[in-house]
Structure 1
């Protein structure tokens, strides 16, 4: 079975407090986008995992796809599988690529072996593997809070608009991103603000990580400024970076402006 785990963007990201367990509480809108990996899972005589495409750092045995398999294996008598992940979405880019791979593994195993898991049950498995993994089970726009693993409906529809994602090949670790954050209460109601036209978001909807990461990495700020120069209605860094996205009313020819970077553009 072949699936296409897709990335997401954060529209607004507010770090509201440090938790007793060491994590942070946040508020954000997670929105799925079409930049995808390719994931193939097939029954096999023995468990195996391989990856192609972009190199994935770390030990392959600790890949989230394998962790998802082992997690379900604890509760279900599922046979061995072969997992082939073709990595396309940049790694450490603030788009949840690894989390999507994990969630799609859970969904695929559920379908492949008829496990009968509900959406809620799959989300609960995903939460055990990473803070934003659970989002990709439903894979639809959500207001996210808690650690980024609790969801509520949100009124937002960008259908028909165009998005441009630019990754400047800068890897920002989660530890580095959070080390410069000063948690504070969000002063806006994000769910209400995002009901307004996209053009009104520019000076209102913010990503708290930008405050300290943009001065440290001028390339990220330059990309954001360039997206506005090209006519973006709204532009922002997504997640803890370093990818920047712009939302446009019309398609643009982006490659010539960002030739040295990884770029994806499409219709929302």
Structure 2
């Protein structure tokens, strides 16, 4: 079975406090986008994991896709599978690519072996793999809180709008991003801000990681400014960076403007 494990963007990201467990509480809107990896799982005589596309650093045995399989195998004694990941979504880009891959592995295994796990059960498994993994189980716009793994429905639709994602070939680790942030309560209620016209978001909907990272990496504010210059209704860095996105009335062709970088554009659903 094959799945297209899509990425997400953060529309607004407030870092409100540090938790006793070392993580941070946040407020953010997660919104799925079409830039996707491809995951394939087939039954096999022995377990294997392989990847192609973008090179994935680290021990393959510690890949989140493998951990997702091991998580369900422990509870359901799954037979071996051969798993292949075509890695397309950039790594360290703030789009949850690795988390999405793991979540889609859980869903593929659930379907392949007819485990009949509910959405809630799959989300609980996903939470054990990473803070934003659970979002990709339902994979629809959500207002996210706590570690980014608690969800509330939000009446926000950008269907038909165009989006441009610009990855400046710059890997930013989560630890590096958080090192430049001081958690604090905000006077802006993000849910209320997102009900304003999208053209007003630039004044109200902020990503708290931008302050520190924009000073450290001037290319990031440059890309954001360029997106506004060519007609973006709203532009922001997503997650802990380094991808910067622009939302447009229609899908634009900006490949030539951002030719040194990795660019994806498409229509939001």
**Alpha-carbon distance between aligned partners in 2 of 1:196 and 1:221, rounded to the nearest angstrom:** 24
Quote how far apart the aligned CAs of 1:251 are.
2.3
Q: Deviations over 1:159-212 (max 9, x none)?
A: 010000000011111111001110001211211211221101011100000001
8 A contact 1:155–1:194 mirrored in 2: no
Aligned residues: 268
Partner of 1:92: 92
**Alpha-carbon distance between aligned partners in 2 of 1:262 and 1:114, rounded to the nearest angstrom:** 38
Partner of 1:159: 159
Structure 2 regions of 5+ residues with no counterpart?
A: none
**Alpha-carbon distance between aligned partners in 1 of 2:66 and 2:81, rounded to the nearest angstrom:** 10
**Alpha-carbon distance between aligned partners in 1 of 2:155 and 2:190, rounded to the nearest angstrom:** 10
Partner of 2:147: 147
Partner of 2:3: 3
Q: Deviations over 1:37-65 (max 9, x none)?
A: 01000010000000000000101110000
8 A contact 1:155–1:191 mirrored in 2: no
Partner of 1:258: 258
What's the TM-score, normalizing by structure 1?
0.99
Q: Deviations over 1:239-261 (max 9, x none)?
A: 00000000001222211001110
What's the TM-score, normalizing by structure 2?
0.99
| Cα root mean square deviation, aligned | 0.6
Partner of 2:49: 49
**Alpha-carbon distance between aligned partners in 1 of 2:173 and 2:124, rounded to the nearest angstrom:** 25
Off by >4 Å, runs of 4+ in structure 1 = none
Structure 1 regions of 5+ residues with no counterpart?
A: none
